[in-house]
Chain A
Amino acid sequence: MRDSLAGRLGDRRLLAGFALAIVAIAVVPPLLNSLWLRVMLSSVIFTIAATGTALLYARLGLVSLAQVALVGVGGWVTLRMWHATGLPFELNMLVAGAVSALVGMLVGLPALRMRGLYLAIITLMAAAGFQILVTGTQFPNGGSGWLGIAVNSIFMPRPRFGHSDEAMLRYASVVALLCFGLVAWARHSRPGRAWALIRKSEACAMAAGVNVALYKAWGFAIAGFLAGIAGALLAGTIGVLDATTFPASESILLFALTVVGGAYSALGQVLTGLLFRAAPALLNDWGVDGNLAYALFGIGLLHALITAPQGIAGQILDGLARLRRPRSER
């Protein structure tokens, strides 16, 4: 085991990606106009959410179709915390992450005994249930009581470092980088090794003394935590949330796009965020009829699933690898 930082992080590629991200965060936001600042902000937020889905799918082989619902949970907790306590945003964000992690673990409890399609369906049912629940209870907007519904909405203010859209984009991007870091750390330490073994064969894992239930739950917890962070950022960006943002269909779509973007690399998750929010916004900006855009999206999804099992990121990275090979053979 190499002990250098690069070794611990595993990859030169990882460092390169990190550096590229830092440059992008510094350089890109001022170049974007108001519409694209907000669209990129949405994309970054859902990149964080997609990271959770990708973690479960790529590392554990578990399908969660409830991630957007967990984002909603995170948003709800953030808003409730702020309206109740007025604590700083970062604290509310962490609490939201923790609560979503807990809910994520609850949703993942069936995973202890199921995987694949059955688990997917259970998580989808949970997402549908959340959709119905939150449509009835709505999101807190300054009222009293457990649900916190007020007649006149009070908007939650932006976090201290995110008052302008540009600053908020940078803020969210930094949080996203930290989330990538969290996942990378988990992958390269004990949970990651346990997950790899569980994915191969649970029997082997148990035989090797790995606590399968615990590590599966831990995977769901991290995915839930990431969703909660994303929800907090979403609530922080807009200031108020609406139940129509979190239907069950969005959760399925997020999973689909995670696979299409590429579940096996951070680049894939970035692509997922862009596909989930930036692509529809682009089509809307070009004036493409919303319904036709939907249909185009479906065609793209089908095509990508059929032709790119490793996702678009997989194709890109494979392409880059093939470009690099001649050089290393010199």
Chain B
Amino acid sequence: MSKPKPSFTPWAKPAAAALFGLAFAGSAAAAPKLCGLDNGKPATGAPIIVGAVVGKTGPDDFSSSARTAKAYFDCVNANGGIHGRPIQYLIEDDQWKPEVAGQVASKLVKDRGVVALVGNGSFVEMTVNAKLYEQQNVAVVASACAVRECFEAKNIASTNQGPVPSNISAVQWGVQHLGSKKVACIGLNIPSNGVWSCNLTNEWLKDKGLQGVSVLMDPGAPDANSALLEAVASGADTMLVSLPAGLAQAFLKAAQEQDLRDKYKWISPTPLYKEGIPQALGAYWAGKVHIAIELTPWNGTGPDAKRWRAVMDKYAAKSDPRDTFSEAGFVSANIFVDTLLKMDPKKIDRANVTAALKAVKNYRSDLLCGPWYFGNADFHQANHASQMVVAEKDGFKSETGCFDVTGKYFDKIRAMEKAEHLTGN
């Protein structure tokens, strides 16, 4: 419980502390490292205003990333803040409506003058607000992105993967370990989500000489049966269930009704890695559904994973989910705090923060499978390495360690990473 953090990881705090000559090492030995300066002194200076736009009310609740970031910021504020300045974190709900997303982003960026947005998680806001963020020169370290526009906007970079790497990682593993030859990509018929990710997945398969078929369903459809039957009719041997958790579970339930489990191989991107899914799927599916997860497992033993759980236990509500988005929110918040701690506290304004965030490179955390960066390009897909887990009767079991995704789509990204030295090579 109160074990001191083992060794200082090379990427953050000691350098910053030394740079500003704080008595960091002295107080460090006494208490476990949790967040920020870890000096136990509440921050009381001029607040630094940070925002977040999340889709809370609506078809799904994407707010866990922001709630985790809030817990982390509360911890930081109780431990010296950003060199004495507390973070004032404003979370806005876009209610899954583009109009409202535009309104609340305007409120945060123009009315409240936030220096950055951290922990955004939404299906709609990135599309609507990307231009606003660019025009107002505000950077967004998002955590729960699901649509194309989030990954192809100048000022938005997310710590989560999104559907494309997640889909392709699952398929890549399936091809290697399950012998998949023809994959049915079951996704939503939303152009910037299901259509985009399934198209790229099919292209990846084609490049390998295999086959991929898209089976797109309307998220408002009353039942998953026709999607299931269409997938069956496609002649695939593997089902890639690339749907949000609720729909994915309904899809698998429909498959169970037809007793199709042993006729196909079942793989999925991250959304099924959610608390309650193993129980909802039941014993029938135990050991059969292989999920590619975007960040490391919730019961990880690395220092950041332990910090994450400790911060959540201490500063978050019991009902706040400890899921993948929460991990991503934690990482986003850490990146933000670590970046700001390196800055002159008197010069923390939007322009400087944006420049500093965009300069983040080779950020490592045991919650991520690979190094993270923001970068200056028009697209940001730093997180593209995954792990596989499988749903068992009472929970999830890890199947692999971290592996990176391959393919033509990512070669372009890797070339850029290399050219700009974003990942430490």
Contacts and interface: CB of A to CB of B under 8 A. Distances in A.
Direct A–B contact present (CB less than 8 angstroms): yes
Interface string B68-99: 00000000000000000000000011011111
Contacts of A281: 100, 103
Interface in B98-138: 98-100, 102-104, 106-107, 109-111, 124, 127-128, 131
A135 B220 contact: yes
Contact of B107 (A35, A152, A153, A290): A35
Given A242-B98, A281-B103, A35 B218 contact: no
B56 interface: yes
Interface size class of B (residues with CB under 8 A): 20 to 34
Contacts of A37: 106
Interface in A246-269: none
A39 B111 CA distance: 13
A289 B57 contact: yes
A238 B57 CA distance: 21
Nearest to A234: B99
A135 B189 contact: yes
A42 interface: yes
Contact of A149 (B92, B95, B191): B191
Nearest to A131: B220
Given A152-B152, A153-B149, A242-B127, A34 B97 contact: no
A33 B111 CA distance: 6
A284 B93 contact: yes
A196 to B, nearest CB: 36
Nearest to A242: B98
Contacts, number: 80
A281 B95 CA distance: 10
A244 B107 contact: no
A62 to B, nearest CB: 28
Contacts of A38: 99, 102-103, 106
Contacts of B107: 33-35, 285
Interface in A268-292: 277, 280-281, 284-285, 289-291
B102 A245 contact: no
For the residues of B in contact with A, the DSSP-based class is helix
Contacts of B97: 244-245
A136 interface: yes
A240 B57 CA distance: 22
Nearest to A289: B57
A155 B98 contact: no
Mostly helix, strand, loop or mixed at chain A's interface? helix
A138 interface: yes
Nearest to B107: A35
B400 to A, nearest CB: 32
Given A33-B111, A244-B97, A284-B100, A155 B56 contact: no
A244 B131 contact: no
A152 B148 CA distance: 9
A177 interface: no
Interface centre among A37, A38, A155, A234 (most CB of B within 10 A): A38
B95 A238 contact: no
Interface of B: 56-58, 92-93, 95-100, 102-104, 106-107, 109-111, 124, 127-128, 131, 148-149, 152, 189-192, 196, 218, 220
8 contacts: A39-B103, A138-B191, A149-B191, A153-B192, A240-B98, A284-B93, A290-B56, A290-B93
Interface of A: 33-35, 37-39, 42, 131-132, 135-136, 138, 149, 151-153, 155, 165, 234, 238-242, 244-245, 277, 280-281, 284-285, 289-291, 294
Given A34-B107, A245-B99, A290-B57, 6 more contacts: A151-B196, A242-B98, A245-B97, A277-B99, A280-B95, A290-B56
